[in-house]
Structure 1
Amino acid sequence: MMSTAATQPTFCTLHIWPSRWNLPSIDPACIAAVFYLQLTIPGKFEVVECTNPDVSPSGKLPFLTHGHATVSSVPAIISFVSSLAKSTSSGARDLNASLSAPQRAKRTAWCSHVEANIGDLVAYSFYSLDDNFWKLTNPTMAFMLPIPQRYYVPGRIREMHRPRLEAAGLWTQAASETEKDSFGKRQKKDDPKDEYARAFERDKVSAQAKALFALYARLLNGQKFFFGERPTTLDVYLASHVLLLLDPPFPDQLMRSILEESYPTLVEHARNVQTEVSQIPRQYLVVSAQKQSLLSLIPRPLSGSPKTKSEMDEVDLRFRRMRWIWLALAFGGVASYAVQLWIKVIDVRANRRPRRVQRRGADQEHKAEVTEEEGEEEEDEDEGTQDGDEEGAQDGSE
């Protein structure tokens, strides 16, 4: 579906999370943006894989740049491209042009419903289920991210989803009981008494998912797409979420089994949208995520219209403060270690020569003492010899 070259010069750039599992991205909103642009302006945009949401004006991916304009969030991107479609020279197409006013209202409401409810099921599969997070989500994101972000960003994103999943009743007990040591490794306390509670949670989640899927299956009513033979933004929204429940190799395949066994029409619908996008001859250019160095950790002003401090939410401000603190501690630690190492080197060099001199002096004194003792012993022997000779001489004379 993706190509490395575009057939026409691009005039839009879409920044998204990187692709995996034969999907354009690991994020449903990013997949929806790619599908929508490919259906409306094929061959006239490029995709830049990004792992740093801070470059976005909203702090989230995806976002679209067109000249000096920067548009963030899927609804804003759809609105922007729809405005381009009003100009015949742009070549853009409006997916919802054939919808009546009531259908447009229903489409907007259902898109919000998909993003909120099916989006919770996607987040549940990626972040709430313990095995899925530690065996798939965390390694996948860590491979994409540079050092040191790979060690804390996946956990930070998981904690960002936690309040929403808890409110929806989709945060599992196993995820709450998982602990990590200082190196970020999993330490899970298994308690056989909790198996029944976890089984109950799983049944509750299954019932909730089935109720949502049944709602969209009835709305689809056996049609290829929701509003006829051509996909609209509602089809794009739902397909981008369902594909992320089907294609990733989750260790726990709860959602995939529910869809394939009970709601095959939704699976077929998602594949129809995917096929519709892939069959368009003009494909988009994909620019892979660039490797980042430690300099990328330093906050820079955005190329677009940067947000003022009052426009940032508390989470953004806290993250930026923590990043500055981390940088200060890191550089301070390195500088302190370098100074201490240099001082030790100077001390060793200064103490090496005097110790050798002292040792040589001690050796010379020891040799002198030994020489003096040997001299005294020789004198004693000479005196003893002389005394013996004198006594022998006297005895002879007598």
Structure 2
Amino acid sequence: MVLELHVWGPAFGLPSLDPECLGAIAYFTQALDRSEWTVVRSSPSAVPTRRLPTLHDPQTQTWTASLPSIISRLTLNPPPTFHSPDTPLTPSQLATSTAYATYLTASASPLLSLSLYASTANWTASVRPAYTSSLPFPLGWTEVPAVRRAWLRLADATGIDLLDAEDAERPAGPPEDGGVLPPDIKLPKKKQGVADLLTPEQKARIGLHALVDGVMDVLADLKGEEKKWFLLDDDDGEEGAGGPTTLDCVAFGYLALMVYPDLPRPWLRDRIVEKYPALQAWVNDMTAVCFGDGVPTAAPVAGTAEARRGEDGVVRVAGRFVDGVGRSVPGLGEEWRRWRDVGLGVGDVLAIAGGTAVAAVLVAAYVLHKRGSALMPVLGAPVHRWEAPRRGLAGFGAAGALFGGFFTPEVRFGSVGGGESGRVQTEVQAPFGGKVDGVEVDVNVDID
């Protein structure tokens, strides 16, 4: 059975939009025959390791995540056609390869983060649509924001802001003295230096160029002018079998995503093309060597309209969506991750979600029955209504209510003695200060 390399989907003319996934694909083209492996377009929620790239061996049912672990697994359990690209390297070159690969992961990742994820224009126009097209609906609502948040943490560490031109138009903030002077008072103009003449975008661009140069200078010095690859030349190794090594594959994953994407704000590509044309030529050479026979076509992720796999239908996509929602809820996400790390399957996730929904409905119905019975009585039960007796003009219904607003009765009581009969006369004040005839009522008052 062929090995399955699960990666993020293609974008920008490359077989994957993730640098580590792209490096893994390049490594497989150099280490294995194409008949022994295939590329599967996937996402972290679709694999047990929750990380890409991931290698799945259907024969042993094992999952291996991250490029270093995949290389180690292939070295310890090599397939029949496996041949390591690092075979011609000396022990010293192997140590150099490991060191520079680690350096690239730590230093080149922030550059990609700033270019593809921190820049609002680049993210909205190019990167986010690429991720969305790689995922079945509605996983783009949960997984794509999580991916961007993870990459933005790398950009935040650089301390660089204002990557877009529209950001340069934002006000710099209130004046330092905290007040505004009257228009008739003019202070002498402050002498401006070079830094004061730069816009915020220009200042950010200087910082970006410094970051790019710091990484690219190291790679350019390592490659030099003589070698075609970073550590070997075409005539190196046994019988002149020199070629791309693991370091070249790792570097290709990062540099290709810096050079090939056509972005609205191509500051990273412009800097590399302008100052490091040799590295751009190296990226083109790697593309020709690794994908000269065509870019490996990733099998569509299960659940899309392009392909359906038996183990990944609508139910599985729904479970992945519920899992993504649970992980993104503030305050609940960490606990949800712990539950999922225990090993809950898709069926367990759907059962928990369904049970929670049913419990919420039952609790709401019970509370409504106990507290809201006056507003919503039980169906079929008799309804009783009590009203206070109507007095005065209110006893005449709607007409009494109408005229009651115009006439305010004023009751005057006379004084009567014990056992005497009296008379109470009510004078009703009419509009415009006049009076109308009152109503006389006979009242018998008994006073002990």
TM-score by length of 1: 0.67
Please give the secondary structure, in 2, of the residue aligned with 1:193: coil
Q: Which range moves more in the overlay, 152-161 or 253-262?
A: 152-161
Please give the secondary structure, in 2, of the residue aligned with 1:287: coil
- Matched residue, 1:48: 40
| Contact 1:146/1:293, CA 8 A, preserved across alignment | no
Q: Distance between the aligned counterparts of 2:361 and 2:48, measured in 1?
A: 34
Q: Pick one of 209, 216, 231 that aligns with 1:227.
A: 231
Matches within 5 A, 1:287-298: 287-290=299-302, 291=304, 293=314, 295-298=316-319
- Matched residue, 2:270: 257
| Contact 1:135/1:251, CA 8 A, preserved across alignment | yes
- Matched residue, 1:137: 127
Matches within 5 A, 1:17-166: 17-43=8-34, 44-50=36-42, 52-66=43-57, 67-68=59-60, 69-85=62-78, 90-166=80-156
Give the superposition deviation at 1:36.
Answer: 0.5
Which amino acid is the alignment partner of residue 277 of structure 2? P
* Structure 1 unpaired stretches of 5+: 1-9, 179-187, 301-312, 340-349, 351-398
Task: Name the Cα RMSD after superposition.
Answer: 3.7
Give the superposition deviation at 1:64.
Answer: 0.5
- The change in CA–CA distance for 1:316 and 1:141 in structure 2 (over 3 A counts) is farther
| Contact 2:273/2:280, CA 8 A, preserved across alignment | yes
Please give the secondary structure, in 2, of the residue aligned with 1:70: strand
Query: Deviations 1:106-146 (Å, cap 9, x if unpaired)?
Result: 10010011111112211221111111112212222223323
- The change in CA–CA distance for 1:205 and 1:189 in structure 2 (over 3 A counts) is closer
Give the superposition deviation at 1:280.
Answer: 5.8
Q: Distance between the aligned counterparts of 2:150 and 2:224, measured in 1?
A: 36
- The change in CA–CA distance for 1:294 and 1:191 in structure 2 (over 3 A counts) is farther
Matches within 5 A, 1:302-317: 314=334, 317=337
* Residue 238 (structure 1) aligned with residue 231 (structure 2): no
Query: Deviations 1:163-212 (Å, cap 9, x if unpaired)?
Result: 22212334x2469xx9xxxxxxxxx9962438933331221011111121
Which amino acid is the alignment partner of residue 37 of structure 2? F
- Matched residue, 1:205: 208
- The change in CA–CA distance for 1:314 and 1:327 in structure 2 (over 3 A counts) is closer
| Contact 1:42/1:284, CA 8 A, preserved across alignment | no
| Contact 1:84/1:90, CA 8 A, preserved across alignment | no
- The change in CA–CA distance for 1:328 and 1:156 in structure 2 (over 3 A counts) is farther
Give the superposition deviation at 1:289.
Answer: 1.9
| Contact 2:168/2:199, CA 8 A, preserved across alignment | no
Q: When the two structures are aligned, how many residues end up with a matched partner?
A: 302
Please give the secondary structure, in 2, of the residue aligned with 1:298: helix
Query: Deviations 1:83-115 (Å, cap 9, x if unpaired)?
Result: 344xxx712111111111111111001001111
Please give the secondary structure, in 1, of the residue aligned with 2:212: helix
Q: Distance between the aligned counterparts of 2:279 and 2:203, measured in 1?
A: 26
Q: Distance between the aligned counterparts of 2:47 and 2:139, measured in 1?
A: 17
- The change in CA–CA distance for 1:253 and 1:326 in structure 2 (over 3 A counts) is farther
Please give the secondary structure, in 1, of the residue aligned with 2:251: helix
Q: Distance between the aligned counterparts of 2:300 and 2:203, measured in 1?
A: 43
Which amino acid is the alignment partner of residue 40 of structure 1? A
* Residue 217 (structure 1) aligned with residue 224 (structure 2): no
Which amino acid is the alignment partner of residue 105 of structure 1? A
Give the superposition deviation at 1:58.
Answer: 2.9
| Contact 2:11/2:17, CA 8 A, preserved across alignment | yes
Identity rate, percent: 21
Question: Larger relative contact order (C-alpha < 8 A, sep ≥ 6)?
Answer: 1
- Matched residue, 2:375: none
Query: Deviations 1:209-251 (Å, cap 9, x if unpaired)?
Result: 1121111111100221012221101111111111111111211
- The change in CA–CA distance for 1:160 and 1:278 in structure 2 (over 3 A counts) is closer
| Contact 1:26/1:244, CA 8 A, preserved across alignment | yes
Q: Distance between the aligned counterparts of 2:168 and 2:315, measured in 1?
A: 36
- The change in CA–CA distance for 1:40 and 1:299 in structure 2 (over 3 A counts) is same
| Contact 1:14/1:46, CA 8 A, preserved across alignment | yes
| Contact 2:22/2:253, CA 8 A, preserved across alignment | yes
| Contact 2:113/2:154, CA 8 A, preserved across alignment | no
Please give the secondary structure, in 2, of the residue aligned with 1:138: helix
| Contact 1:240/1:270, CA 8 A, preserved across alignment | no
- Matched residue, 1:191: 170
Give the superposition deviation at 1:74.
Answer: 0.4
| Contact 1:18/1:49, CA 8 A, preserved across alignment | yes
Which amino acid is the alignment partner of residue 253 of structure 1? P
- The change in CA–CA distance for 1:278 and 1:287 in structure 2 (over 3 A counts) is same
